[in-house]
Structure 1
Amino acid sequence: MSFPKIGNLAPSFKLKNQAGVDVCLKDFKGKKNVVVYFYPKASTPGCTVQACGVRDTRTEFDSLDSVVLGISPDAPAKLQKFTDKYDLNFDLLADEDHAVAEQYGVWGLKKFMGREFMGILRTSFIINKEGRLTHILDKVNTKTHDQDVLNILRNGI
């Protein structure tokens, strides 16, 4: 599986957020830059650090006309618990059948503690207001993710 090509239109999607409301990528076209980040599982240590970083820098994303969408294979109810527990202020989207993850090339073989399994490969995509993919971050550091993405947005996408 491979990532979509930079410069192409980003693969479209419609997924339920933590409140069960549909969120469509096309709804942001012409209005906002979109940061789509894929993460393995809500409420795990690395995913929590990453989400809290986005939460804490939300106003900076807003000032750069950008919205952040986190996508995982978790169900909306689990995403709502994650949102409530950590007071998250952005949408988390449920890709329970990992169809969107597959479109973006981030569903793949993982190795953890000597075990191999299929799962989300932590990756972020930056999509401009025209809906075109401008950046792919496939070496995501959960502790600096928000600042890494903000630096790209500040420098112009």
Structure 2
Amino acid sequence: MANKSKELQIGDQIPIFQLQNQNGELINIQDFIGKQNLVIYFYPKDDTPGCTKQACSFRDQYEDFNHLNAEVFGISGQSVSSHKEFAEKHRLNFNLLCDVNNTVRKQFGVPTNFFGLLPGRVTYVVDRSGKIVHIFNSQFRAEEHIEQAKNILKQLE
């Protein structure tokens, strides 16, 4: 089934959304716009090898993102309990947001891979105004998402 949403591009404003995090708290992205840069990354599934590697890289470099005035959000379609288990198991120190119906994934137009069978792995770097300044789409180079995001954030500061 094709994703009919238009893929957001560099220069587009991100949609305003609210999702629960791994602790069941409702996170409103609008609370961060105007204050910080954002790194919003969509990943396929909790506790799979590539997603774990990516999440742990964000965890290990989270302080670097703080120094670059950026907040990190991981988004996938699993439940609060799945995210909580994943976050606790790997001591994740940032918000994992539950997009159970893939509503936000569709708003961003995140493409699927492998003939639509696997949710895409895409990272968006968003400036303080809520505008997308960088997009990195790679299913298999999970850790490269972190390096690319940091390099773009350094240019923003």
Partner of 2:24: 20
Deviation at 1:107, TM superposition (A): 4.9
1:143 aligns with 2:143: yes
TM-score (norm 2): 0.91
- SS of structure 1 residue aligned to 2:73: strand
Q: Which has the higher strand share?
A: 1
CA–CA separation in structure 2 for the residues paired with 1:85 and 1:26: 29
- SS of structure 1 residue aligned to 2:64: helix
Q: Which amino acid letter does the alignment assign opposite residue 131 of structure 1?
A: G
Please say if residues 34 and 126 of structure 1, whose CA atoms lie closer than 8 Å, have aligned partners that are also in contact: yes
- After TM superposition, what 4+ stretches of structure 1 lie above 6 angstroms from structure 2? none
Please say if residues 17 and 29 of structure 2, whose CA atoms lie closer than 8 Å, have aligned partners that are also in contact: yes
CA–CA separation in structure 2 for the residues paired with 1:69 and 1:32: 12
Q: Which amino acid letter does the alignment assign opposite residue 26 of structure 1?
A: Q
Partner of 1:2: 6
Q: Which amino acid letter does the alignment assign opposite residue 145 of structure 2?
A: H
Deviation at 1:132, TM superposition (A): 1.0
Please say if residues 98 and 107 of structure 1, whose CA atoms lie closer than 8 Å, have aligned partners that are also in contact: no
Deviation at 1:152, TM superposition (A): 1.2
Q: Which amino acid letter does the alignment assign opposite residue 84 of structure 1?
A: E
Please say if residues 7 and 111 of structure 2, whose CA atoms lie closer than 8 Å, have aligned partners that are also in contact: no
Instruction: Report which stretch shifted further, 130-139 or 14-23.
Output: 130-139
Partner of 2:156: 156
Deviation at 1:3, TM superposition (A): 1.6
Partner of 1:122: 121
- Total equivalences in the alignment: 152
1:90 aligns with 2:124: no
CA–CA separation in structure 2 for the residues paired with 1:94 and 1:15: 6
1:80 aligns with 2:79: no
Deviation at 1:9, TM superposition (A): 1.4
Partner of 2:36: 32
Q: Which amino acid letter does the alignment assign opposite residue 33 of structure 1?
A: N
Please say if residues 76 and 98 of structure 2, whose CA atoms lie closer than 8 Å, have aligned partners that are also in contact: yes
CA–CA separation in structure 2 for the residues paired with 1:119 and 1:126: 22
5+ residue gaps, structure 2: none
Please say if residues 53 and 145 of structure 1, whose CA atoms lie closer than 8 Å, have aligned partners that are also in contact: no
| Identity rate, percent | 36
Instruction: Report which stretch shifted further, 140-149 or 9-18.
Output: 140-149
